């Protein structure tokens, strides 16, 4: 079922009827064989695509991948032509995931590097406990909106929620945004009421410096999914959410 | 605020012996001893003493004795001194009481109510000094049955990844940040030299310790600190930590002051921030989710390593153990009520979870009843103090045990429970670069190696006395145990008969 398209660089895999174990074995085999671009067809819920490949190979997924897409992933550049399920980019190390659709809960959980672009909306606890260190900076960009506990425990990285599906003056629906946040930054477009924020989070307008970070991410979003970055930016209503303290739970204990 | 909490200890300095050399002043990290230039004498502030005995051991003239302050309040079996002091401390701070190490309360220790058998007349005992004794233990899923090719005599059954231990004792998880790098290096070296495993805990693996990777269990916990492909590849076993005996059901956090530059690099978080470990892993809300993470890790490492799942022993841990095995775990770990920690709320440590002996017996029985006991190795932790505890655990059904407190005691720990302060005078539970030097990894490794050697000799001696030459024959062999002073229910859960019966 592995079809070599040209020399060894492009490979097609028909995932119909394959278990995740069989399919990921084929991916390892293809990457070991020097594949640089892999087209996966008929993907029906196979999990863990992109893990243990450790090379910047391009993977195009036609269908619906299963949970933990790109979990513990280092390197691959995955495009999904459809929706993704829960745990996309779970503890991801490096690489790229682009989803032309929605993604489920805990998108980007504990990611410590790499980029995730979701065209539409995401589920609960997106960007939970992402962390950055040195030059490692996980980035999650969501075109639509997110559910509750967005950026919970966030320790580092950049989380962008563009709210493109919100009507003018319509508020985001997520509550407890940034609960326990103690690092990183959330850029969110669209109305967010104070009561929707975790108590460890502050809200501020964007500075020039923030725009130098955010603008290229919006441009990259537009490049992946179409549309114009200037149009998105022109809609206005951007806020920055940040951790009020590096140590949100410093005064809980007696010794 | 004036504290109403009296000193816990009394420092007695024998003036005839004290030479005012100030060793005690330098050794104490809690500011108990000080030199007074006016009197030209070393004096003590007793309220600061935590009873760690560092000064008494290092005093060159043996001038210091630490005694418990008798605290002779009016007798009261209900309002005991500890309860009074806890209330006062909370009244003075408004915080949760934080403590270290394991539960120190007097819940029954079942090891002390179980005795082992020995051979007399009807079968011969074995002298382990002159006959071979086998303690080798393999961790990993075992097949239902093995098939051998009748012609070639080769094994046809595909065996899941196995890890060989020379003694069924491993070092339990203690993270870098909770304990010092020197402690971890002592554990890693001793494990490598003795042929067992040590466990990184959830704080990542320091670059200096990658060379011990063949003897390393790497942990993936809710904080996912320092978890990346190289880390997963380094592990001989990968352990998913769901819970810990000292603090079942709650998360933890390494306070910012312990997150030094080096700890930060290993955990991959900024220096000085609190390292928060959420209470649950938010990708695991069910057994099915657990299976998803077990297989995520198997996929991430190409099915080359056993995956372990560790939980705290709680009321229904036998049923959960079944779920863990069915979720694909190759090793399951139960950590009991007495399991230790670098920091936990005292109220949790002392009141949540069940004794490991009962959890072990129940889980082993449950897995046998369901016919899935072979699918995972069963490891227990939390309260293994000596070699007889190890052997009793194995007779109750464990494949191996984890030790942590015993290992720290081997390195000098006196269980003074000051771990969360980061001021450990023994240089164990600290990331202070000066205190860390109090443990020399070479000597630390030697002390730990010696402990394992001593236990291994003792286990062989006990086995020999039972007329058994392989640890495998004792595994789950509860007929070799008898209970003393246990009631019907306890005996039934443990699956042992009372002594005399």
pLDDT over threshold 70, residue A5: no
Calpha distance B111→B113 (Å, rounded): 5
Strand (E) or helix (H) holding B238: strand B237-241
How wide is the angle at C-alpha B475 spanned by C-alphas B471 and B477, nearest 5°?
A: 120
CB–CB of B98 and A52 under 8 A?
A: no
Tell me the residues of chain A between 216 and 245 that have a Cβ less than 8 Å away from chain B.
none
Instruction: Report the percent of chain A where pLDDT is more than 70.
Output: 96
CB contact under 8 A, A129 and B223: yes
The rounded distance, in Å, linking the Cα atoms of B380 and B361 is 10
CA of B237 to nearest chain A CA: how many angstroms apart?
16
Inform me whether the pLDDT recorded for A9 exceeds 90. Answer: no
| Percent over 70 (pLDDT), chain B | 100
Q: pLDDT, tens digit, for every residue of A27-69?
A: 999 999 999 999 999 999 999 999 999 999 999 999 999 999 9
Q: Which residue has the higher pLDDT, B143 or A250?
A: B143
pLDDT at A7: 54
CA atoms in the 13 A half-sphere facing the CB of B11: 30
Q: What is the pLDDT of residue A53?
A: 95
Min Cα distance A200 → chain B (Å) is 13
Partners of B254 on chain A (C-beta within 8 Å) are none
Number of neighbours of residue B123 by Cβ within 10 angstroms? 10
Interface A:B, Cβ pairs < 8 A: 140
The pLDDT value recorded for residue B339 is 96
- Whole-number pLDDT of residue A245: 84
User: Is B62:B457 a contact under the CB 8 Å cutoff?
Assistant: no
The domain segmentation of chain B, as residue ranges, is 9-95, 137-498
Q: Does B90 touch chain A (CB under 8 A)?
A: yes
For residue B89, list chain A residues with Cβ-Cβ distance below 8 A. Answer: 254
pLDDT tier at B85 (50, 70, 90 boundaries)? very high
| Per-window interface: B 167-196 vs A, CB < 8 A | none
Q: Does domain B9-95 have CATH number 3.30.70.20?
A: yes
Averaged over A205-224, what is the pLDDT? 97
Kindly tell me if the per-residue pLDDT of B257 is higher than 90.
no
Is A90 within 8 Å of B97 when comparing Cβ atoms? no
Residue ranges of B 414-433 with Cβ closer than 8 A to chain A? 420-421
Please state the rounded mean pLDDT for residues A175-197. Answer: 95
Chain B residues within an 8 Å CB radius of A21: 299, 303
ipTM summary value: 0.92
Alpha carbons within 13 angstroms on the beta-carbon side of residue B366 total 20
Q: pTM for the full model?
A: 0.95
pLDDT at B253: 74
- Residue A78 DSSP one-character state: E
Note the maximum CA span of chain B. 91
pLDDT at A205 over 60: yes
Please give the mean pLDDT across all residues of chain B: 95
CB-count burial class (<10 Å; 0-12, 13-18, 19+) for B120 = exposed
| pLDDT for position B462 | 97
For the residues A167-178, what does the mean pLDDT come to? 94
Which chain A residues are closer than 8 Å to B94 by Cβ? 254
- Token pair of B123 as six digits: 């079968």
Looking at domain B137-498, does it have CATH number 3.20.20.70?
yes
Least confident residue range of A243-252, B214-223, B299-308, B393-402: A243-252
pLDDT in the model for residue B381:
98
Query: Which neighbouring-strand residues pair with A61?
Result: A40, A80
Categorize the per-residue pLDDT at A8 as very low, low, confident or very high, splitting at 50, 70 and 90. Answer: low
Q: Which of B216, B217, B209, B206 is CA-nearest to residue B268?
A: B206
- Nearest Cα of chain B lies from the Cα of A118 at a distance, in angstroms, of 19
CB B102 within 8 A of CB B406: no
DSSP annotation of B73: P
Which residues in chain A touch residue B301, judged by CB atoms under 8 angstroms apart?
52
pLDDT band of residue A2 (cuts 50, 70, 90) is low
> Which has the closest alpha carbon to A104: A131, A132, A90, A83?
A83
Specify the pLDDT at position A3.
56
Q: How far apart are the first and last CA of chain A?
A: 63
pLDDT at B477 over 80: yes
Confidence check: pLDDT of A4 > 60: no
Question: Which residues of chain B neighbour A248 with C-beta distances below 8 Å?
Answer: 274
Give pairs for B32-41: CB < 8 Å, separation 24+. Answer: none
Q: Pull the structure tokens for residue A173.
A: 């629906």
């Amino acid at each position: 079922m592995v079809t070599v398209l040209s020399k060894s660089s492009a490979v097609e895999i028909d995932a119909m009827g394959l278990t995740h174990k069989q399919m990921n074995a084929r991916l390892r085999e293809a990457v070991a064989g020097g594949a640089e671009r892999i087209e996966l067809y008929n993907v029906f819920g196979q999990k863990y695509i992109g893990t243990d490949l450790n090379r910047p190979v391009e993977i195009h997924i036609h269908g619906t991948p299963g949970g933990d897409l790109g979990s513990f992933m280092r390197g691959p550049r995955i495009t999904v032509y459809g929706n993704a399920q829960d745990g996309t980019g779970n503890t991801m190390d490096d690489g790229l995931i682009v989803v032309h659709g929605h993604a489920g809960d805990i998108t980007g959980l504990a990611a410590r590097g790499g980029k995730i672009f979701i065209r539409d909306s995401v589920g609960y606890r997106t960007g939970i406990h992402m962390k950055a260190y040195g030059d490692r900076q996980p980035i999650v960009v969501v075109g639509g909106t997110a559910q509750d506990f967005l950026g919970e425990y966030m320790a580092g990285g950049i989380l962008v929620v563009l709210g493109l599906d919100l009507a003018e003056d319509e508020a985001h629906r997520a509550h407890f945004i940034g609960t326990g946040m103690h690092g990183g930054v959330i850029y969110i477009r669209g109305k967010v009421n104070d009561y929707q924020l975790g108590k460890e989070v502050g809200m501020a307008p964007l500075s020039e410096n923030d725009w130098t970070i955010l603008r290229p991410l919006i441009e990259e979003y537009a490049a992946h999914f179409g549309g114009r970055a200037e149009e998105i930016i022109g809609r206005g209503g951007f806020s920055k959410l940040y951790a009020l303290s590096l140590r949100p739970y410093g005064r809980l204990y007696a010794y | 605020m004036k504290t109403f909490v009296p000193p816990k200890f009394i420092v007695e300095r024998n003036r005839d012996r004290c030479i005012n050399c100030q060793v005690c002043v330098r050794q104490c990290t809690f500011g108990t001893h000080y030199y007074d230039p006016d009197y030209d004498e070393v004096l003590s502030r007793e309220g600061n003493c935590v009873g760690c005995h560092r000064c008494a051991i290092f005093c060159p003239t043996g001038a210091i004795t630490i005694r418990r302050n008798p605290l002779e309040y009016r007798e009261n079996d209900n309002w005991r001194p500890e309860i009074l002091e806890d209330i006062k401390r909370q009244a003075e701070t408004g915080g949760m009481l934080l403590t270290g190490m394991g539960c120190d309360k007097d819940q029954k220790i079942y090891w002390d109510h179980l005795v082992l058998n020995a051979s007399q007349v009807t079968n011969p005992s074995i002298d382990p000094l002159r006959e071979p004794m086998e303690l080798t233990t393999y961790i990993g899923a075992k097949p239902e049955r093995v098939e051998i090719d009748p012609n070639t005599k080769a094994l046809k059954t595909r065996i899941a990844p196995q890890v060989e231990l020379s003694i069924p004792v491993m070092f339990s998880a203690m993270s870098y940040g909770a304990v010092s790098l020197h402690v971890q290096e002592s554990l890693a070296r001793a494990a490598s030299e003795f042929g067992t495993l040590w466990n990184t805990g959830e704080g990542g693996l320091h670059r200096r310790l990658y060379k011990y990777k063949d003897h390393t269990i790497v942990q993936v916990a809710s904080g996912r600190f320092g978890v990346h492909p190289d880390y997963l590849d380094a592990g001989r076993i990968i352990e998913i930590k769901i819970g810990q005996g000292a603090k079942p059901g709650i998360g933890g956090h390494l306070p910012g002051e312990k997150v030094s530059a080096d700890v930060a690099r290993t955990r991959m978080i900024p220096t000085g921030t609190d390292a928060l470990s959420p209470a649950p892993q938010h990708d695991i809300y069910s057994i099915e989710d657990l299976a998803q993470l077990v297989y995520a890790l198997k996929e991430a490492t190409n099915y080359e390593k056993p995956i372990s799942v560790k939980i705290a022993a709680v009321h229904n841990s036998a049923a959960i153990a079944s779920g863990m095995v069915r979720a694909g775990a190759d090793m399951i770990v139960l950590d009991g009520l007495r399991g230790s920690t670098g920091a936990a709320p005292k109220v949790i440590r002392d009141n949540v979870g069940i004794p490991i002996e009962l959890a072990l017996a129940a889980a082993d029985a449950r897995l046998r009843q369901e016919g899935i006991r072979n699918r995972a190795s069963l490891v227990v932790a939390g309260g293994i103090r000596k070699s007889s505890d190890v052997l009793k655990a194995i007779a109750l059904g464990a494949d191996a045990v984890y030790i942590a407190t015993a290992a720290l005691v081997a390195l000098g720990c006196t269980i003074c429970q000051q771990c969360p302060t980061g001021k450990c005078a023994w240089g164990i539970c600290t990331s202070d670069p000066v205190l860390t030097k109090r443990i020399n990894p070479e000597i630390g490794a030697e002390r730990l190696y010696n402990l394992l050697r001593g236990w291994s000799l003792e286990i062989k001696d006990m086995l020999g006395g039972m007329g058994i030459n392989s640890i495998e024959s004792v595994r789950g062999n509860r007929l070799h145990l008898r209970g003393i002073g246990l009631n019907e229910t306890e005996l039934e859960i443990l699956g042992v008969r009372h002594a005399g019966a």
